Amino acid sequence: MPLVPDFLAGRTPPDLYHAYLSPAFERWAVDMLGILKPNGRVLDIACGTGVVSRLAAKDQTVDLVEAIDVAPPMIDKAVSLGGGVGDCINYSVASAIELPFEDECFATAYCQQGLQFFPDRPKALHEARRVLQPGGKAAFATWCYARDGNPVFEAFEQIIADALGSDLVPFGPFAFGEREVIEELADEAGFRIELLEKRTLNSPLPDIRTFVLFDVSFLGRPAADGTLQPIMDFEDPANDAVIEDMISRLAESTAQFVQEDGTLLAPMTSHLLVVARD
């Protein structure tokens, strides 16, 4: 069987996301919650598989976590991992730019690596402010550019650009890295900025082969209707040679980050924005 179909093996995107990205996201979530402590009624925007929600729900000062994501499969996966309606976490499908909550109903809010994907970022920030209580605070984390402190992804972006075209980079998660733009968005939404800084943490990533197979399976080019089309025909065994070359090149350029078990432990750098509603 060709490499990518064999790797996917019927697993859903949320399954893969949770298996390979959650270890890094958990480390970052602990850091974010340590800087902005959750309390009262908490909102987790673009919750994915619920990493931030589950950690916040453990805090004794938290009454309820409302966790929303626009993707139903992500919500289904989050529920399957624990926390649903009637528990301390309430998961629901909703958009960050149309939050289904009343004004001034949350004490704290979080958005870990979601802001860069929102189709209307100013609206999302305004919505977050609307649902925060006076004195409430929110934290937003968004990756810096790959070239700005994310060396494994910087190396892989270059490999992808060389092999398949520069139009595929920067990758979506690393395409919103301007501090000045983030600051301007917060100001325009009416927030008071308490913190805006770059933070770097050594983050666990999968082994190099898994890293490449995971990432190429989610890369795509937009079609006329806006949907993403795969970057190659993964069913064609001839393309396996291209992928194997990517794996070999990434192994060479990231050898310093490889651990004894073959996984990667590498610096990742993110902007962290903490804001308050006065």
Assess whether pLDDT exceeds 90 at residue 117: yes
Assess whether pLDDT exceeds 70 at residue 115: yes
Percent of the chain with pLDDT over 70: 99
Do the Cβ atoms of 49 and 116 come closer than 8 Å? Answer: no
Tens digits of residue pLDDT in 228-268: 899 999 999 999 999 999 999 999 999 999 999 999 999 99
pLDDT of residue 225: 80
Tens digits of residue pLDDT in 78-96: 999 986 555 799 999 999 9
Do the Cβ atoms of 77 and 14 come closer than 8 Å? Answer: yes
Do the Cβ atoms of 169 and 216 come closer than 8 Å? Answer: no
Crossing angle for the helix pair 179-188 and 121-131, to the nearest 10 degrees: 50
Tens digits of residue pLDDT in 26-39: 999 999 999 999 99
Percent of the chain with pLDDT over 90: 94
pLDDT of residue 267: 98
Question: What structural domains and CATH numbers belong to the chain?
Answer: 3-276 (3.40.50.150)
